[in-house]
Amino acid sequence: DENNPASSAVQAANFDMQLRCAVTELNPNYDFITAKYPEQQLREIPRNKLKLIRLLGQGAFGEVYEGTLKNMCANVSELSVAVKTLPALSTQQAETDFMMEAVIISKFMHKNVVKCLGVCFEEHPRYIILELLEGGDLKTFLRDSRPKTDQHYFLSMKELVHLSLDVANGCRHLEEKHFVHRDIAARNCLLTTRGEGRIAKIADFGMSRDIYSADYYRKSGKTMLPIKWMPPEAFLDGVFTTKTDVWSFGVLLWEMFTLGYMPYPGQTNSDVMQFVSSGGRLDPPEKCPARLNKIMILCWNSIADIRPTFSEIIELLDMCLQDDEVLNAPVGLCHFAMAESFKD
Ligand code: ADP
């Protein structure tokens, strides 16, 4: 009976209440998301303009499809899209969480953050319609780009720095909106394409969505947290600020220049918490140019306030593009035999 205005009002009020209850004083995204009826900020798209074509993968709620959207812009007759679905038989909680994801993504408008084109929330199954990012996730891409036996490098350092700049620019947009992502990592970035001209975008807001959920404490046992990407103040005290994302970005740089290694290979989350809180840090990627390694070290300062802003990180990465020592460095020159023993 979602067409019944009374029941919609109750739903909206419940949603609003859940939202306020889920938010604590440690949650820096509070202002960002406390609009009275967040679902009214979403653009409802007529379902008949949408065609689902093939399954892309499984999301937290339901399947994600590739599809097309007809006649939405003046000059484009058909747009390729990704459609996240929420099965008809979902709980009220899942409905709220699913809507929250759409609300979050819709707040951003940046080349390096996935765009939400609209939603179909008036009937079941509910859909979130996103721009299609055909290149898959950054971590898989990096791993697939490792030189095989013939020592042929598929990616240049310049391309890796450009991808790093893409993610840093997306992060700066979140920073400007005072939004803390909480799960910046290569696995959560998607690429427009695998070929030349690829653009990386921050595409998975699952962790930011989940902290608004009444289910959060069930969902986020310590085993669910991305400990290897988190700074000590986050895993010890639960403090999340943009500087948390800066630390995680440093780990993403490490993933980038190891071509997708698992950080702290062979160590468990609890090893890593102990190691990092007593001052231990990831080793620089093999033969990593000093200028790049320095950026990672800055991101991993144990004092959050001293870590650079994303604008500063962008400046430092830009300088890498002028530095022949960086541009001529060998890509992903790691001990691949050793890497084999740390399969994850
Ligand atoms: P959830 O956060 O709900 O778990 P994901 O965002 O991880 O869901 O999506 C599940 C799958 O759908 C992943 O394999 C992901 O690569 C794919 N996917 C998600 N969004 C897009 C998109 N915009 N374009 C292409 N594929 C996508």
Convert the pLDDT of each residue in 216-226 to its tens digit.
665 655 568 99
Supply φ then ψ for residue 113, to 5 degrees.
-135, 135
**DSSP string covering 261-329, please?**
PPSSTT--HHHHHHHHHTT--PPPPTT--HHHHHHHHHHT-SSGGGSPPHHHHHHHHHHHTT-HHHHTS
Amino acid at the residue 221: G
Mean pLDDT of 131-153: 87
94 Cβ closer than 6 Å to some ligand 1 atom: no
My answer on whether omega of the bond before 330 falls inside 30° of 0, hence cis, is no
Q: Determine the distance separating the centroid of ligand 1 and the alpha carbon of 82, expressed in angstroms.
A: 8
CA torsion sign, 336 to 337 to 338 to 343?
Answer: positive
* Beta carbons within 10 angstroms of residue 44's beta carbon: 12
Phi first, then psi: give them for residue 334, nearest 5 degrees.
Answer: -115, 170
pLDDT for position 341: 42
Q: Is 169 in contact with 189 (CB distance < 8 Å)?
A: no
Mean pLDDT of the chain: 87
CA quadruple 243, 248, 252, 257: dihedral sign: positive
Measured from the Cα of 132, ligand 1's closest atom is: 24
Whether ligand 1 lies within 6 angstroms of the CB of 296 is answered as no
Compute the average pLDDT of residues 198-209: 94
Tell me the average pLDDT across 92-120: 95
**Alpha-carbon gap, residue 30 to 128, rounded angstroms:** 23
Instruction: Using the mean position of ligand 1's atoms as its centre, give its distance from the Cα of residue 5 in Å.
Output: 32
Q: How many CB atoms lie within 10 A of CB 65?
A: 19
ipTM confidence score: 0.97
For the Cβ of 87 lying below 6 angstroms from any atom of ligand 1, the answer is: no
Judge if the beta carbon of residue 82 lies within 6 A of ligand 1: yes
pTM for the model = 0.87
Dig out the tokens for 42 from the structure: 């979403």
DSSP state of 44: B
- 183: annotated active-site residue: yes
pLDDT band at 8 (very low <50, low <70, confident <90, very high): low
Give 60 or 167, the one with higher predicted confidence: 167
CA atoms of 168 and 295, how far apart (whole Å): 12
Indicate if the pLDDT at residue 31 is higher than 80: no
* Torsion on CA atoms 67, 134, 204, 311, rounded to nearest 10: -130
| Distance (Å, whole) CA 164 – CA 170 | 10
